[in-house]
Amino acid sequence: MKINWLALVESTACTLCILCCFLSYYVYSLLVLLGYVVPFLLYYVLKRFHEESFLVFLFLATCFLSSTTLSAIILFKMWMVFPILLFSFVLSYKIIELDYLMKKSRKMPKIVEVKN
């Protein structure tokens, strides 16, 4: 199974960003700002190198989910950080799996039925 390393690194970075917010309460505003600015920059980079715009959209949605999660952690006094970390990890894994399945389906030969 081939892994999309760019998606894996970004999903790990999003999870680490949430974890840093949990550990360091005073720098959350910078992390939230980065969470909203960096996805727009990465969107243009990914759009240039990826032909699947749907995958780019899912990636951007994951980044926004992580940034919104940072805000939610602050508002709800960080009591729901662990379920959100788990959800973010599972969502990132599903995006990587979707990318793998999309690439695999393009390589499969099409079966054409011939009628006489």
pLDDT of residue 101: 72
pLDDT of residue 64: 66
**pLDDT tens per residue across all 116 residues of the chain:** 566 666 666 666 666 666 665 655 555 556 555 665 666 666 666 666 655 566 666 666 666 666 666 666 666 655 555 566 666 666 666 666 776 777 776 665 556 566 65
pLDDT of residue 57: 64
pTM: 0.32
CA torsion, ordered 90, 95, 98, 103, to nearest 10 deg: -140
pLDDT of residue 61: 66
pLDDT of residue 24: 57
Burial 22-56 (b: 16+ CB within 10 A, else e): beeeeebeebbeebbebbeebeeebeeebebeebb
